[in-house]
Chain A
Amino acid sequence: MLSLRDLQAGFLRSIATAPGPSVFSGIAPAFLELVEGRGPLGSADRLGVYAEMYWARLVDVLRDDFSRVAAILGSTRFTALACAYLTRHPSTRPSVRWVGAEFANFLARDGAVEGLPFLADVARLEWTRMAAFNAADAAPLRVESLRAIPPSQWPRLTFQTVPALHVLRVAWPVHELWAADDAQICLVAGLQRR
């Protein structure tokens, strides 16, 4: 009998190998024999439910985390790119929040989109904004605290930034794209498509 570990490996391989309309292509015939196929849903259909959910859920997470990248690409192209990313970089951490950790790097290299060289920088900005929102809280420096320090100690003073502050170096003025409304985004995407 198949061990629990082999069963789990076979299950995940079946649902996470091939995305989109070809969800059934990853399913090994031998594995199907382990799945009950009674009722209106056959064995492959039942695994297909999990396969569809796998891709839909993770693409949705990426779409939420990189909403500007998604707006620039449009739904179809974003989904294809997100699936390619997930195939290349399966999630390796318990919390789904980290699924997109390598997305910007992917867009800069293997997943680069012709005509949209700034896409990776947009993704970097979106990811960094999220990191800032989730950073540890810190009390900002107040002028009274500074006044309370005797001048004799000033030469030894150093300033520390709050954890939420991130410095991002980008090659493109992506802050403008980030702030753009959907009509402007369409214009950028349209220019590229022509």
Chain B
Amino acid sequence: MAHSVPYLGHGVGLRTMHFPHVLAGTARVDWFEAISENFMIDGGRPLAVLERARASCPVVLHGVSLSLGSTDPLSEPYLRALRALADRVAPAWVSDHLCWGSVGGHYAHDLLPLPYTEEALNHVVQRVRTVQDRLGRQILIENVSSYLTFTHSAMPEWEFLAAVAERADCGILLDVNNVYVSAVNHGFDAERYILAVPADRVGQIHLAGHSHKGTHLLDTHDGHVAPAVWDLYRLVVRRCGQVSTLVEWDDRMPDWDMLCAEAERARVVEAEILEAHAVSA
């Protein structure tokens, strides 16, 4: 069974800076992505904003703490809180990252890279299945930006990602900027990665800006989507067709209009590709 989630159009991340727009009813977008952990609280303004957003458009929950690749047991309180939040918000889908973030009970609060081995593959597949059972729904897993790879990895990241998705029967959140950042940092071909991802499992796309650090690229989410990343997005649309797309912007925040303009740009790029596709077909 492939993954199937609805097509929501072009959305933006629900961030504190834009809460006043949401509360005033002036935040008009196709959909919002909310960071799950920011709303795992008992009450207060963030939850009020989330419910208001939910009343106006679809919302999806995107987590950063599931630690799918960790060898520690899954955190029961976290799974319960995520399930409760999902029951309350009724998101279009729930996602987290293909990485690990804790060991021995010590959390790094980062998206740390896995070695791409059979051992890690079996482990992650089992974890994704368990999470899907506990949440009572399929999840989407996202490829992360990375700054190192392991010498004993037995397969490239795209094969690992595809194998996890197929064997655990989950969806993929394809972060195009992360593919590009990792491709530059590790010297692989970003297009090859995109072409190897199982198209029928891609349920969401992330676009974001990154920073040049001289020796490497850093996934900073602090600016416009780079031209090379737009090109990769075109390739994804050619390959996968319409996929819900979200612009992430988390630092050096733009005002609301500028953020929406970036999402609009994604809409235009998608339309151009689909039109050209229809003409040539």
Contact = CB atoms under 8 A, between A and B. Distances in A.
Interface of A: 1-5, 7-9, 11-12, 15-16, 33-36, 38-41, 43, 45-47, 49-50, 53-54, 57-58, 61, 90-97, 99, 133-138, 163-164
A133 B115 CA distance: 40
B106 A137 contact: no
Contact of A91 (B71, B107, B120, B214): B107
B148 A35 contact: yes
A99 B112 CA distance: 18
A8 B40 contact: no
Interface residues of B, number: 49
B50 to A, nearest CB: 13
A3 B103 CA distance: 13
B107 A93 contact: yes
B106 A4 contact: no
B88 interface: no
B78 interface: yes
Nearest to A7: B115
A9 B42 contact: no
Interface stretch (B149-157, B163-171, B194-202): B149-157
B53 to A, nearest CB: 17
Contacts of A138: 43
B150 A34 contact: yes
B66 to A, nearest CB: 8
B109 A163 contact: no
Given A4-B123, A40-B215, A134-B41, A9 B103 contact: yes
